[in-house]
């Protein structure tokens, strides 16, 4: 215990008396921290922009067309199947979800591209509203819009909006009343607007072939379970009893949103490489420093400091430098994040940032490990022989 | 008088490409508490090797070292570390001080190592440094002091914890003659006053005028011991 306080004393004196040098290293760590946190936040932001609706959906399982590889736009499930699913044991409720992309006309000839999501009012997939009311009726000309639409335009709850959709070779226009708003519903890199299924089928983008006949399918079916722990049983029963479907839990569903996994792994690779660079920079600095300190460490050992004290002093020094750097970097990241508009896909989410900060706090000790071993192994005889 | 240090038939050999080198060859001597001894001899005669063995930094190939009557041979590594901080004071030729500690802190470090640092120790450290003429330099870092001042700080550090044996490897090597005399004189006075056993390695025979005995080494052997005052002064004058 006393050795620990001696080690703390030595390392603190050294850091304080060389504060310029150590502060520079802390600044390097701060910059690396900033970079890593931004990469993590970008990953989170991009992931959100692509799949937020799915990851926050009020359901436990999603049902896809068999062999659709869990790709929502290429999956088609018959509406009659939704009703069969609803009758299965263990299924509390089920709702079809259909996706498309349309534009909202804004003043001054501007448009806002949004994901048009058709849901069954009151069923899984229909998001909870934060303002106004939920959708009602199969065919009603109303929409619930994502808070993100409000942030990016002047559209408010109660307004009428005009939707432009490409149907066949023509642009068609539809007017909907915004009855409510919801939040955190980005999908496919666009904010979402939700409409009842019947309305969706009328106003969505259509190919020539789809023009005349109403659609009898949805893309996927969201299921809520009576007992979440029975997810596997229900999933097995579903695939056994209903033809041509496959079932995914929400995590699988999110990972298979087109582009999601590729993007996340790219971003993660970047973060890992940045961390590695950090390890090398810190490692290099402390290693060079230890080489310069061989005589003084020799003296310390020759006058009776034990290996624990010498090694611990090196460890504490690295911890001080890293912690300071990470603290500065995180504060900078936080301050910068306040200046971003909502359209920038950078999201500081507690978990991702915490993981990044933990990893960053480890890079100091990881990088300094070699130098610590080196310090411990310096022979006290060095104090004499180098003199 | 009690024997602070006893060296009995110590041999230290090193293996090298050209065969075995006996850096220390069957050396025996003893130093009493309150006695200041010089270890002289040509380059390569084994002085530093001898000092390293006395400081428990190096194990002899054979022979016995007793400090305060305790044999170093039977000690574990941890016990040697403890011995170095409790019973031995050491000054090195250069790189003596911890560069990020002030003069005062360097001296106090010895007390901290021994977990004996308190208010009284702090006062004593400052007094000892003042005694060595460094009263104005207590809060200077080593880089802000001259070589001679640093040597004096090292001497204070080697004495502050009341060690049994004080070992100094060429404490005057980097000093001009005038300074060197001053430093060795004060060193000798402190050894005598505090009743320590002091051994100083030196190239400079003139420094021997302040010591009680001179041990002369050649080729690892202890070839001559000067004990009488006349002999020592003659040696110091280079006659
Ligand atoms: N680790 C070692 N390995 C091999 N030989 C060594 C080692 N250390 C010392 N020697 C040899 O032992 C002999 C004595 O060396 P030592 O350093 O003790 O001499 P010294 O009297 O201190 O010389 P100087 O006055 O030049 O400092 C020399 O021949 C030296 O080369
Ligand atoms: Mg030598």
Residue with tokens 């937020």: A52
Mean of pLDDT values over B71-93: 92
Q: Which of A202, A32, A62 is nearest to A124 (CA)?
A: A62
* CA A195/CA A144 separation, integer angstroms: 7
User: Does the residue B20 lie in any domain?
Assistant: yes
Q: Which of A219, A293, A226, A282 is nearest to A70 (CA)?
A: A219
* CA A147/CA A145 separation, integer angstroms: 6
Mean of pLDDT values over A302-319: 93
* CA B232/CA B69 separation, integer angstroms: 28
Residue B1 pLDDT > 70: no
User: Does the residue B110 lie in any domain?
Assistant: no
Percent of chain A exceeding pLDDT 90 equals 66
Q: Which of A269, A259, A271, A261 is nearest to A39 (CA)?
A: A271
pLDDT band for B236, please (50, 70, 90 cuts): confident
User: Does the residue B13 lie in any domain?
Assistant: yes
* CA A140/CA A178 separation, integer angstroms: 11
User: Does the residue B142 lie in any domain?
Assistant: no
Cβ B46 under 6 angstroms from ligand 1: yes
Residue A1 pLDDT > 60: no
* CA A86/CA A48 separation, integer angstroms: 29
Please give the residue of chain B at the shortest CA–CA distance from A18: B100
Cβ B18 under 6 angstroms from ligand 1: no
| Window 215-234 of B, Cβ < 8 Å to A | none
* CA A300/CA A307 separation, integer angstroms: 10
For residue B18, give Cα distances in angstroms to B14, B15, B21, B22, B62.
11, 8, 8, 12, 21
Number of alpha carbons in the 13 Å side-chain half-sphere of residue A269: 6
Residue A214 pLDDT > 90: no
Separation of B24 CA from ligand 1 center, angstroms? 9
Mean of pLDDT values over A179-197: 94
Cβ B216 under 6 angstroms from ligand 1: no
Helix B147-159 to helix B119-131 angle, to the nearest 10 degrees?
Answer: 140
Pocket test for ligand 1, best of B11, B17, B23 (most atoms within 8 A of CB): B23
User: Does the residue B204 lie in any domain?
Assistant: yes
Shortest Cα distance from A311 to chain B (angstroms)? Answer: 15
B50 touches chain A (CB under 8 A): no
Phi, psi (degrees; rounded to nearest 5) at A301: -70, -35
* CA A127/CA A120 separation, integer angstroms: 10
CB B217 within 8 A of CB B39: yes
Separation of B92 CA from ligand 1 center, angstroms? 15
B162 touches chain A (CB under 8 A): no
Q: Which of A380, A125, A158 is nearest to B51 (CA)?
A: A380
Residue with tokens 């509390």: A92
The pLDDT tens digits for B197-222 are 999 999 889 999 999 999 999 999 99
CB B59 within 8 A of CB B52: no
pLDDT averaged over every residue in chain A: 91
Cβ B48 under 6 angstroms from ligand 1: yes
Output helix, strand, coil percentages for chain A, rounded to the nearest 5. Answer: 55, 20, 25
Q: Which residues in chain A are closer than 8 Å to B78, comparing Cβ atoms? A: 306
What would you report as the CA-atom Rg of chain A, rounded to the nearest whole angstrom? 29
Sign for the CA dihedral angle at A219, A224, A227, A228 comes to positive
Q: Do A304 and B109 touch (CB under 8 A)?
A: no
Pairing between strand B197-201 and A217-218?
A: unpaired
Q: Do A384 and B81 touch (CB under 8 A)?
A: no
User: Does the residue B68 lie in any domain?
Assistant: yes
On the 0-12 / 13-18 / 19+ scale of CB atoms within 10 A, B82 is middle
Three-state secondary structure call for residue A308: helix
Residue A276: CB atoms within 10 A of its CB come to: 13
Q: Do B101 and A13 touch (CB under 8 A)?
A: yes
Number of the ligand 1 atom closest to the C-alpha atom of B15: 4
Q: How many CB pairs under 8 A join A and B?
A: 74
- The structure tokens listed for B150 are 């640093």
* CA B160/CA B133 separation, integer angstroms: 15
No. of H helices and E strands in chain B?
7, 10
Residue B225 pLDDT > 70: yes
Three-state secondary structure call for residue A172: strand
Sign for the CA dihedral angle at A199, A130, A111, A47 comes to negative
Strand partners, A91: A225
- The structure tokens listed for A274 are 């940045």
* CA A380/CA A304 separation, integer angstroms: 9
Number of the ligand 1 atom closest to the C-alpha atom of B52: 18
Sign for the CA dihedral angle at B137, B141, B146, B149 comes to positive
Separation of B47 CA from ligand 1 center, angstroms? 8
Percent of chain B exceeding pLDDT 70 equals 99
CB environment B190-206: b (16+ within 10 A), e (fewer): bbeeeebbbbbbbebbb
Pairing between strand B197-201 and B165-169?
A: parallel
pLDDT of res. A387: 42
Residue A326 pLDDT > 70: yes
CB environment B60-77: b (16+ within 10 A), e (fewer): beebebbbbeeebeebee
The residue of B84, B91, B100, B170 whose CB has the most chain A CBs within 10 angstroms, and thus the best one to mutate to test that interface, is B100
Q: Which residues in chain A are closer than 8 Å to B101, comparing Cβ atoms? A: 13, 17
A41 or A219, greater pLDDT: A219
Residue A386 pLDDT > 70: no
Residue with tokens 């024997």: B3
- Structural domain span for residue B13: 3-95+165-236
pLDDT of res. B206: 92
Number of domains in chain B: 1
pLDDT averaged over every residue in chain B: 92
pLDDT band for A107, please (50, 70, 90 cuts): confident
User: Does the residue B135 lie in any domain?
Assistant: no
Mean of pLDDT values over B49-72: 93
Separation of A336 CA from ligand 2 center, angstroms? 60
Single pTM value for the model: 0.80
User: Does the residue B116 lie in any domain?
Assistant: no
Residue B154: CB atoms within 10 A of its CB come to: 29
Mean of pLDDT values over B99-127: 95
Mean of pLDDT values over A92-108: 94
Number of the ligand 1 atom closest to the C-alpha atom of B50: 18
Return the minimum-mean-pLDDT range out of A29-33, A257-261, A340-344: A340-344
Shortest Cα distance from A306 to chain B (angstroms)? Answer: 6
Ligand in nearest proximity to the CA of B15: 1
CATH number at residue B187: 3.40.50.300
Q: Which residues in chain B are closer than 8 Å to A6, comparing Cβ atoms? A: 112-113
B56 touches chain A (CB under 8 A): no
pLDDT band for A381, please (50, 70, 90 cuts): confident
* CA B94/CA A312 separation, integer angstroms: 25
* CA A96/CA A81 separation, integer angstroms: 9
Percent of chain A exceeding pLDDT 70 equals 98
Output helix, strand, coil percentages for chain B, rounded to the nearest 5. Answer: 40, 30, 35
The pLDDT tens digits for A189-201 are 999 999 999 999 9
Q: Which residues in chain B are closer than 8 Å to A383, comparing Cβ atoms? A: 92, 95
What would you report as the CA-atom Rg of chain B, rounded to the nearest whole angstrom? 17
Q: Do B85 and A305 touch (CB under 8 A)?
A: yes
* CA B11/CA B28 separation, integer angstroms: 10
């Amino acid at each position: 215990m006393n050795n620990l306080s001696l080690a703390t004393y030595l390392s603190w004196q050294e850091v304080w008396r060389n504060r310029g040098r150590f502060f520079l290293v802390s600044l390097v760590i701060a910059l690396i921290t900033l970079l890593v946190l931004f990469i993590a936040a970008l990953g989170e932001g991009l992931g959100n922009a692509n799949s937020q609706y799915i990851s926050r959906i009020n359901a436990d399982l999603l049902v896809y067309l068999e062999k659709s590889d869990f790709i929502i736009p290429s999956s088609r499930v018959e509406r009659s199947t939704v009703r069969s699913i609803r009758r299965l044991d263990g299924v509390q409720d089920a709702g079809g979800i259909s996706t498309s992309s349309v534009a909202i006309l804004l003043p001054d000839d501007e448009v806002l591209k949004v994901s048009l999501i058709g849901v069954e009012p009151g069923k899984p997939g229909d998001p909870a509203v934060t303002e106004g009311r939920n959708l009602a009726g199969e065919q009603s000309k109303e929409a619930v819009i994502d808070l993100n639409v409000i942030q990016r335009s002047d559209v408010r709850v109660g307004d009428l909006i005009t939707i432009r959709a490409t149907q066949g070779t023509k642009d068609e226009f539809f007017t909907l009343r915004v009855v409510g708003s919801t939040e955190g519903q980005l999908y496919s890199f666009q904010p979402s607007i939700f409409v009842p299924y019947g309305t969706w089928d009328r106003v969505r983008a259509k190919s020539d072939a789809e023009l005349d006949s109403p659609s009898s399918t949805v893309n996927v079916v969201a299921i809520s379970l009576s007992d979440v722990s029975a997810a596997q049983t229900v999933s097995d029963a579903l695939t056994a009893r209903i033809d041509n479907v496959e079932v995914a839990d929400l995590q699988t569903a999110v990972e298979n949103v087109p582009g999601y996994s590729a993007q996340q792994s790219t971003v993660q690779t970047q973060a890992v490489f940045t961390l590695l660079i950090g390890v090398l920079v810190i490692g290099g600095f402390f290693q060079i420093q230890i080489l310069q300190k061989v005589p003084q460490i020799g003296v310390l050992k020759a006058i009776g400091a034990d290996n624990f004290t010498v090694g611990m002093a090196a460890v504490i020094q690295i911890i001080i430098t890293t912690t300071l750097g990470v603290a500065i970097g995180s504060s900078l990241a936080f301050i910068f994040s306040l200046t971003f508009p909502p359209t920038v896909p950078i999201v500081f989410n507690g978990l991702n940032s915490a993981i990044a900060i933990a990893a960053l706090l480890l890079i100091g000790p990881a990088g300094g490990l070699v130098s610590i071993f080196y310090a411990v192994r310096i022979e006290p005889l060095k104090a004499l022989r180098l003199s | 008088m009690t024997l602070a240090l006893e060296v009995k038939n110590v041999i230290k050999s090193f293996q090298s490409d050209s065969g075995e080198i006996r850096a220390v060859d069957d050396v025996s001597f003893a130093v009493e508490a309150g006695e200041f001894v010089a270890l002289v001899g040509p380059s390569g005669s084994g002085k530093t090797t001898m000092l390293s063995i006395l400081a428990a930094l190096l194990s002899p190939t054979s022979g016995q070292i007793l400090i305060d009557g305790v044999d170093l041979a039977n000690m574990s590594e941890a016990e040697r570390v403890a011995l170095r901080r409790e019973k031995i004071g050491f000054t090195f030729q250069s790189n003596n001080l911890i560069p990020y500690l002030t003069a005062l802190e360097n001296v106090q470090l010895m007390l901290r190592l021994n977990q004996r640092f308190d208010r009284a120790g702090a006062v004593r450290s400052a007094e000892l440094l003042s005694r060595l003429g460094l009263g104005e330099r207590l809060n200077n870092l080593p880089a802000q002091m001259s070589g001679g001042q640093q040597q004096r700080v090292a001497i204070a550090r080697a004495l502050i914890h009341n060690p049994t044996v004080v070992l100094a490897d060429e404490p005057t090597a980097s000093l001009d003659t005038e300074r060197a005399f001053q430093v060795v004189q004060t060193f000798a006075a402190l050894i005598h006053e505090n009743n320590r056993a002091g051994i100083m390695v030196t190239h400079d025979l003139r420094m021997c005028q302040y010591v009680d005995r001179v041990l002369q080494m050649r080729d690892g052997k202890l070839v001559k011991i000067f004990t009488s005052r006349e002999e020592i002064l003659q040696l110091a004058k280079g006659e």
